[in-house]
Chain A
């Protein structure tokens, strides 16, 4: 090392102002603000978010944009290709596909959102109880999850749909009853880790009850993974509904979900391909948008994924 001689007079005492020294220069950022900042940098996730917003808006106003309702039949105008009169064409009974597609969007999105919220709620409660109590309770509760995990769940949704009378409510119950398993696992893992933290001990010392600790302290701290799960469950639920409608177990006619429309479209694929194309495009677009948003949220909210 080279020796450098710096004359003493060049040194100056540093200013020591304790107030300035400890001042916070940047605005403090909450977990959610930070997550939103990360999400905004993820272009794919933003595209997903925009597509979802557009789809929701269209689901609300789409069915009113022209003069036909989803069940109006004009038999003389059956199987028309897309035109300025029928924007997406018509089906075999002369019903306007544009109106039917957006009406289907309502059903599919509703099923997606409600199923997701139901199953996440069940899974969160189940998982946090299992993780918090630990020991024998945890062992038994997780064993039950493990057993159900081995069941091919779509088979069970099919059986449930056979037993219950077909309809929107039934689909939501049947799907909600099977999707909570993975949420339960994830929440349990998080709670198992979190319950050892000091803030739980602090809450306990202050006399907080168990339910208060779980609801006010543990669950809010697992909100990140829960929201990611919620976003990724929506496209799965939409897919399953489409699948069931495809098997003839979905919502009842003349209501039309996307899966039902796609099933009709496949039957007519040789002659009238647009009848498949439009519902197929919107199912795929919706699932893509939710997957993009979900992946982006996972990167933004899941601390383990941070680089």
Chain B
């Protein structure tokens, strides 16, 4: 299992690098978190800094931060006195995760379907239609889709609410905005890998054996063609999360993305730091799951491990 060990150690190292970089970046930002329009009196500032341990040497702060992280404590918010970063994540993340999960499921379903249809009808109208859709999906950014569907379906047609997060009806527009890109990429990946697989010898063998086309496609082609799509899932999840920063803001969805953007505007460093570390850890964990899934689905990886 050297493949998985290697991936695991990479992931842990990546996480440490991320925490360190984020920590350093947040502390070299010119101006402290308590700078504002009217200058605070010196003693108050001193007390505030002492309260949040900002007067300790940097490396002490760093070690403290790591220690707290190990306990799962991401620290207090500098701007909202009564809230911690953990509170904010606990509140916002379930919303963002629900949105993200729906988006990835729909993107997988529609993307795989489009890709397979396109590959099976290569150079026919279904193929051109799917390619056209996919190229558009890659080209139109999520926030523009969000603006347009909001204008058409919420402002003009009034089919869906233009904002907030109340019930399934309010999910439709944000999901459409976010799902476009991953759907398009999955469709493109699936199409090209399906075309490649359909040319392989084992498909010809299956055909020669006299298997029904359906069986060949579902049992032989699909299972092999889906591999590149699995590797894309990691980046896809990352893309959906970053995309949700903007989409959650446009639709006023109380998710983590909205909090994150707000903390950028407020320059609330501990929240920025905490959410970044949280997202990075989550993505690294997801990538690891994807790698494991890949090793399970693709037996060639295990084989190469045994040879080593």
Shortest Cβ distance from A149 into B: residue: B14
Question: Can you list, as one digit per residue, whether each of A143-174 has a CB less than 8 Å from chain B (1) or not (0)?
Answer: 10011101110111011101100000000000
Q: Which of B139, B261, B287 contacts A287 (CB 8 A)?
A: B139
Q: Which residues on the B side are within 8 Å of A162 (C-beta)?
A: 25, 29, 264, 267, 272
Q: B283's contact among A152, A160, A266, A276, by CB below 8 Å, is which?
A: A152
**Does A249 make an interface contact (CB < 8 A)?**
yes
Flag A253-285 by CB within 8 Å of B: 1 or 0 each: 000000000110110011001001000100110
Bitwise, B1-36 to A at CB < 8 A (1) or not (0) is 000000000110110011001100110110000000
Q: How far is the CB of B195 from chain A (nearest CB, A)?
A: 10
Residues in A with CB closer than 8 Å to B155 are 269-270, 273
B284 near A: Cβ within 8 Å?
yes
Contacts of A280 in B (CB 8 A): 144, 147-148
- Give the residues from 136 to 150 in chain B that come closer than 8 angstroms, CB to CB, to chain A: 136, 138-141, 143-144, 146-148, 150
Contacts of B241 in A (CB 8 A): 152
Q: Report whether A248 and B280 are in contact in the complex, using a CB–CB cutoff of 8 Å.
A: no
Please tell me if A131 contacts chain B, counting CB pairs below 8 Å: no
Interface size range on A against B: 35 or more
Chain B residues, CB < 8 A from A243: 141, 143, 242, 246
- Does the CB pair A151–B147 fall under 8 Å? no
Tell me which residues from 197 to 230 in chain A have a Cβ below 8 Å from any Cβ of chain B.
none
**Among A159, A265, A283, contact of B22 (Cβ-Cβ < 8 Å):** A159
| Residues on A with beta carbons closer than 8 Å to the beta carbon of B287 | 150
The docked-state distance in angstroms from the alpha carbon of A242 to that of B155 is 24
Q: Does the CB pair A235–B18 fall under 8 Å?
A: no
Collect the chain B residues with CB atoms within 8 Å of residue A295's CB: 135
Q: Is the Cβ of A235 less than 8 Å from the Cβ of B139?
A: yes
A262 and B242 contact, CB distance less than 8 A: no
B10/A287 in contact, CB under 8 A: no
Please tell me if the beta carbons of A154 and B242 are within 8 angstroms of each other in the complex: yes
B25:A147 contact, CB within 8 angstroms: no
A247-B13 CB under 8 A given contacts A152-B279, A291-B139:
no
Contact residues in A for B148 (Cβ distance below 8 Å): 276, 280
For A155, the closest partner residue in chain B by CB is: B276
Q: Of A150, A158, A163, which contacts B264 at CB under 8 A?
A: A158
Q: Beta-carbon contacts of B126-137 to A below 8 Å, as 1s and 0s?
A: 000000000110
Q: Please classify the interface of chain A as helix (H, G, I), strand (E, B), loop, or mixed, using the class held by over half of its residues.
A: helix
Distance (whole angstroms) from the CB of B298 to the closest CB of chain A: 19
Q: Which residues of A contact B18 (CB under 8 A)?
A: 151
Given the contacts A150-B287, A159-B25, A269-B155, A288 and B144 also touching, CB distance less than 8 Å: no
List the A side residues contacting B151 at CB < 8 Å. Answer: 269, 273, 276
The answer to whether residues A151 and B29 also contact, given A273-B151, A280-B148, A288-B139 and a CB cut-off of 8 A, is no
* Partner among A150, A154, A248, A276 whose Cβ is within 8 Å of the Cβ of B10: A150
Contacts of A287 in B (CB 8 A): 138-141
Nearest B-chain residue to A239, judged by Cβ: B141
Chain A's nearest CB lies how many Å from the CB of B198? Answer: 13
A175 at the interface (CB under 8 A from B): no
Q: Which of B21, B28, B140, B284 contacts A150 (CB 8 A)?
A: B284
> Within 8 Å of chain A (Cβ to Cβ): is B265?
yes
Q: Does A246 contact B (CB under 8 A)?
A: yes
A163 to B24, CA, bound (A): 10
- Cβ of A59: which chain B residues have Cβ within 8 Å of it? none
> Which A residues are CB-close (under 8 A) to B136?
284, 288
- Using a CB–CB cutoff of 8 Å, the interface residues on chain B facing chain A are 10-11, 13-14, 17-18, 21-22, 25-26, 28-29, 135-136, 138-141, 143-144, 146-148, 150-151, 155, 238, 241-242, 245-246, 250, 261, 264-265, 267, 272, 276, 279-280, 283-284, 287
Name the 9 nearest CB pairs between A and B, nearest first: A288-B139, A150-B14, A287-B139, A154-B242, A280-B144, A147-B14, A152-B238, A284-B140, A266-B147
Where the two chains meet, the residues of A that have a C-beta atom closer than 8 Å to any C-beta of B are 143, 146-148, 150-152, 154-156, 158-160, 162-163, 235, 239, 242-243, 246-249, 262-263, 265-266, 269-270, 273, 276, 280, 283-284, 287-288, 291-292, 295
